[in-house]
Structure 1
Amino acid sequence: MSPALVMLTCLLLAVAMAPLLLQAATLIGKPGCQTTCGGIDIPYPFGIAMEGVNVSCSLTGFEISCAKNRSGDLVPVLANTEIAIEVLSLSVMPRPEARVRLPVASQCYNSTGGETGPPSYGTVDLNRAGVYRISDAHNELVVLGCNTLAYTNGGPAGGQYGKTFYTGCISYCRDARSAQDGMCAGVGCCHVQIPPNLTDNWMTFDSWSRANQTFSPCDYAFIVEKDHYKFKASDLTTMPVSQTMPLRLDWAIRSNISAMSCAEAMTSPDYACVSQHSECLDSTNGPGYLCNCTRGYEGNPYIVHGCTNIDECSRPEIYRCYGKCKDTPGSYDCTCRMGYQSENPKEQRCTAKFSRAAQLALGISLGISLLILTLLCALMMRQKRRMNEYFKKNGGSVLEKVESIKIFTKDELNKITKNNSEVLGKGGFGKVYKGTLADNTMVAVKESIEINDARKEDFTNEVIIQSQMIHANIIKLLGCCLEVDVPMLVYEFAANGNLHDILHGHGSCRLPFPLDLRLDIAIGSAEGLRYMHSYAKHTIRHGDIKPANILLDEKFVPKISDFGTSKLLTLDKDYTMFPVGSMGYIDPVFYMTGHLTKECDIYSFGVVLLELISRKRTIYGGNLSLIIEFLKAYKQENNGRAIFDKEIATEESMHILEEIGRLAMECLNENVEERPDMNEVAEQLVMLRRARKPKPNLPLCGGFGLIRGLGRVCAFSALSLCF
């Protein structure tokens, strides 16, 4: 084909497509108006004012600005407000809604209970024209803090208390360990429904004495989308006061001056439902009205010709038709093919009008199909019996009665792991797979060990103990699957891999690792071990403490993991003929005697401390032992400077490193009776952390680098700033 002919064909296609493209544009906004910003659609009655355009791109109160955020990206924000209120999405139908980000209200206190500054009430002027209402159906009010009350109010002034309604809740804490992750029922966190017709975000705090409550230095209150915020006890100390939360706003055609109903608006010259095939609906959250396309049409009812016919035949998952589908204006026809019949092809399948010969052939076919179905059912029943046998063998009759354990079926587990499609790693007992629960929570699914009758009671007891260990620094066992030969355990997911990979990554994977973060990881790990040794319902000895078994979540909070059920020994079972552990970390006393004690974990933790301050493996430089070389350095020079990691070995930090080194040597003492217990270890580390000069508390919206498994795949996300 010649170039001239190609160009002529393209021009003809462009002319033919022009009306369609114009129609598609008018379905969003008025012609000549900007209809997107930052990848987000701006449908009329919302709009962005355009220079040189005579038409009004928005109704009064629906103005949007396209502004740059702190990262330099263009994003839509509500216009005419004192602070930038970011718009996440705008919708016209079927539900008129605007999703935005609003600031969190906060009030902070010092150690004596005095306020550290004026409170932030989270107030914004988003409703100057009166078009918005905070959705009571899709939002809730959340309060964080200890011994505090927070509430909001709304409605016109009047009555004894000045407003039409007040709503809020009280949050209380007995001590630092009262609040628990995921629990928002009045301990550290509470939430409450909000009433309709709420027009603003003003929060008020009232609290008891806050002296000596370093575990909750601030109170927070915010309205947020339901099911968006999941409470974490660490938020009581780590949530930035500049935090924002997503919130849904209902809107309607109304203003602070007038708010007409549909009956009144239809006779008004400013009636907003201008498209053919549009209808008026009274607002359900506050006065005013809104527009919708009638049944069988979709689009934007606020624009002339904005509602267009739906082709129901192209959407069979919504509009059923068991025969031949034909689209009609506002609806569709459905008829059976020739030779078939149905009373209602939209609801019932079309059946053939059979002759006698056809009925005989159908009977034979159905007979064969029934035989095949019977065989399949027999195979399925056999598989079901086998799974029931596995379930009983693996202690299911006991574990299914334990409320703290979720028992997953084999089908559920296959769906969670997508049939074991993504392997996170391999351990001594099998593979670990990545999975996703129905609520999009990431999990790690790990193979356990094969269970026999002699091992069943031990296995069930150990799984129960694991499920009852609730601590921020211990990996949480969420459930298990017992319908398989080898039981599968479902744990919470640690997004940043393990401490070993961060300490000893090579090349581009060797990340900067500041001393403060190392101290925080050491403290968290010590707290987890202290809980296992002292506060758990059963005193637990881990038996294999090492950096590879210290996982890190998305905030680099350490999580002790990989108990390996054969190593979970309770008080009455602390001897083993076959000591299990990793060479370089295993206590020599345990290796020789088979007597697993708390002091064995302390010895292993001492090795971890050495790795944290030296960033060297237990065997490095070919055949050098980290423990021997460290002890040799102290004997020769009375300090460990020759071993310390050069990245953190500054004059400012030298005292801290020396103290950590001495603490590690105390943990490695050959005389087990002279080793400190985990209470002493954790307390000494906390004291060292407090001795560090405080760093500026800058809110970050980005993350650290991620390290994944043995492949050492490193990725970095730029630090982004929030509105």
Structure 2
Amino acid sequence: MTTHYYYVLAVTLLLVAAASRQKLSKAEPVTLPGCPDRCGDVSIPYPFGTKDGCFLPGFQIICNDTFHPPRAFFPYDPPNCNEDSFDALDDCLLSQLNSRKPLIMTKDNIYSLNDIEDYTMPGNMSFSPVELTGVSVADGKLQVHAPFCYDCKLNETHYSYRGEIRISFPSLSPFFMTEESTVLMAIGKYTSAGQLNGPPCEAVVTFDDAVNGKCLGRGCCQVPIPPQATSNQVTINRRSSLRITNYEDDCVYGMFVDKYWYNFTSLDLDGDVFLRKNEARGVPVVVDFVIVNHSCPQPGQPAPKGYACAGDNTMCVQVPLDLMADGYAATGYMCRCSQGYQGNPYIPNGCRDIDECKNPDLYPCYGKCHNTEGGYKCACPAGTKGDATHERCAEMFPLPAKLGVGAIGGLFVIALVAFILLLRRQKRKMTQLYMKNGGPALEKANNIKIYRREELKPILKCANFIGKGCFGEVYKGYLDNQLVAVKKPVTDSVAHNEQFANEVIIQSQVIHKNIVRLIGCCLEVDIPMLVYEFLSKGSLDDTLHSNNKVPLDLDVRLNIAAESAEGLAYMHSKTGKRILHGDVKPANILLDDDYVPKISDFGISRMIARDKEHATSVIGDRTYMDPVYLQTGLLTEKSDVYSFGVLLLELISRRKATYSDHNSLVRNFVDAHKTKKIPVELFDKELVEPGDLELLGSLARIAVECLNLDVDERPAMTDVAERLLMLKRSRK
């Protein structure tokens, strides 16, 4: 990786550590819902967390709110060693450091000018938790602060000497220091710093030779640390030959530190300015982190249990590790956002699209920039050419080309004008159709919504076709988040135009629980289209006679009969004008999810005035049609009563009105009625129970009465509905 990359990384970590709460509150989420995302001034992104359920194993952080503001630390578990000898104590510490939580061990030593040969006698040993001061999940790095070694003159006879610092993360922990980010550094006139398993660093200089800036060995030196070290130790030694002879008030230092944090200044060679400035919190150290002891899933394989890369737009990067534990090499991986995304790859939906067009310094574009999901497009403006991502666009149109473009532009204008004129003509046509189909009158209907043709267009597709009736095709689809049925006429005859207009007028006045509700219509077509509520169970005809017959007990069938009769009775007698259906049959009785019947298809309904009781033509299914109506063309309420009688027979027998070449359901029941016996053999076998035969006989008698050829002897629909309701109540 380049030096520039790590410089950007170091600056990023410092900015993360110092960012204000107000600024971060506007950012995207960095942790799981309900989890704290900060500790004082430090952002705590997942997989790190301070509360149970808010972090991955090994990534717990303790937020110490005894500080103001609070400070973040790794969990602290110091070793328990009570050995007497110095060597035994070291052995005990080393054996426990590898198995405990992250910590820092500090040894403070005191020596005297009069005791030159034994100036490294051990003094106080202390332990402290590792403090977290910044996290970059995008780069898999975090910043901690650690103390440093120093050798400072306190007075003319005694020195303060912190001779050893050990930074320790447990073996196979997610954390380790790398030579790419952290170095061993020494600062002083004559001093050297040592480390475990790595080269020492020696700084030798006089005050006059010191050059501010980089650490090049003159007053300040730095050397790499071992790669992927979970634990390392820094020691410091002032050159002993100079300890007695140099009585100047100065300090020397040794430390592990972020390689881009410190710029050498000769002012740090005299006095204790550096010590006083940094002793309280220590110096920054960059530490890498990975998901340890796990590997990225193989291509095409499902993610393993506990896989840390969350959601889409993330990628897994395998990290080769040299760490060893119990004789086995460790494995690990880190999560990153995919190319063109940024954020936290460890939380669901944590990686968000980058708007590259807002950051031209990193994503150059010398033309028109258009952000896309996961990337961006950069194109030269019209009339120019080139690779706009890498260079400025060049003019590409000479004068003839410009003239050609002008001509094409002129043609385009002509086409546009023609298109506008066509739209106006189409609009005028729609307006004329709207007026012709009674739009102004229908606008006054309170219960009718008038739809535009474009609103119904998505529904009128082959995939939505559900059936075809006498007067048109039926489609189902969604309008205003409601499932509806749309009837589209398939002929443009004048008679059908009249029938559709009639149906809109009638149904706008009919509101009943057993009549299909008309929701609206479309008038911007030659023949209006109607929009109804959709009933999921289909027609009674399908339920009774389809190949996949649905079991229907007697109570359900009785309810269908009673409520269908109630709906017809309402049409005949309880509206402003008498409304006749004219085509009552099982196919025109629709059922909802609870098998509640609703009368449909008013395509041939008639609104009967006093002087208009004759239909101009006989229309409907002749199987269910009143013979008197077929002979005279006289359509009355009793015509609907006859058709209902046929429907009732089908309901209790589960046979069609004409079920074979020589068998008529009406004739069979009428003949059986004349014998005054209950025609058990004609009933549906599913209904024949000893306790229900009397009820079935009553239903058959009502049906036969409705089929009387003498119109005056037929009961009114209100009487039929009342008798069926009484039979229904008798079942409770």
Q: TM-score, normalised by structure 2?
A: 0.48
Q: TM-score, normalised by structure 1?
A: 0.49
| Larger RCO: 1 or 2 (CA < 8 Å, sep 6+) | 1
